[in-house]
Amino acid sequence: MKTNLKISFEFFPPKNLKMYQNLWNALNKLKIFYPDFVSITYGAGGSTRKRTHDTIKKFTYRPSIKPIPHLTCIGDTKDSIKKLAIEYWKLGIKSIVVIRGDPENIKLTKKRKFITFPNGYNYASELIRDLKKIRDFEIIIAVFPEKHPESKNFGEDIDNLKRKIDLGATKGITQFFFDNNKFYDFMNILQKKNIKIPVVPGILPIINFNKLTELASNCNASIPKIIKNLYKNKKKEYEFDLSTDIATKQCLDLMKNGFNNLHFYTLNRADLTGKICSNLTKKKLINKSYDAFWS
């Protein structure tokens, strides 16, 4: 299987010295995979704005790493957000991941509600429009293979996606998913709607399955029954290998179907993501019994 595999990683800005050390340790271990870029998240409620900016600045000192900040509509005025974007441009940052964002401390349930900041943005599309006016940023957006949790239906999701593309978005990264068939169905919908921007699959290695189930439910990401059964009564010391095999198989299936750009949500940890990426570069699958996942 010949591929031109491109790998990218997502990190979140550290809160303290120990977390700062963990971030750079993870980066130093993962940089051997020559990431296409690394993205830095922007916390709920805009809570990490300064830390995100400071982390991005430190990344710019490493010429081999292309950092891309997240920018949201949350917790700040339009003018302040535009000023931050101009600062990024001056630092040499020409790409931004633009998302609407979530309020701080929100419980991601059906009761979630976005509240516009005074003199702030209501929608990511508005922010995209203004960013393209002030500088010619590459705009990357989030896409949802299983529908955004707040959207009424896929039609509404697709309309929002088209609006962002019309305003200047040129690439998408998906919310994490575990069922490749749902991703392929989504890509088929985009093709039928003549939406042609590249979409990079987002991969979340399963570090803690119990915590994952709640997060996946909140993000509208289904977990196939076969995966749930594999973790049932699984001893903790065997979960690392199981998680490695599952993500490796998922990625190999995506690559076989022509998706050679993969974005990993690292949670600032290198062990599991690093093992998966090592398997992919060797085109290796540890346990062949998982071949039936997406067949």
Catalytic residues: 10
DSSP state of 28: H
Residues 55, 137: Cα–Cα separation, whole Å: 19
Residues 158, 50: Cα–Cα separation, whole Å: 33
Residue 133 Cα to chain centre, angstroms? 25
Closest CA to 117 of 175, 164, 73: 73
User: Token pair of 131, please?
Assistant: 């960013």
Residues 265, 10: Cα–Cα separation, whole Å: 5
- List Cα–Cα distances, 56 to 22, 80, 142, in angstroms: 16, 17, 20
The C-alpha R_g of the chain, in whole angstroms, comes to 19
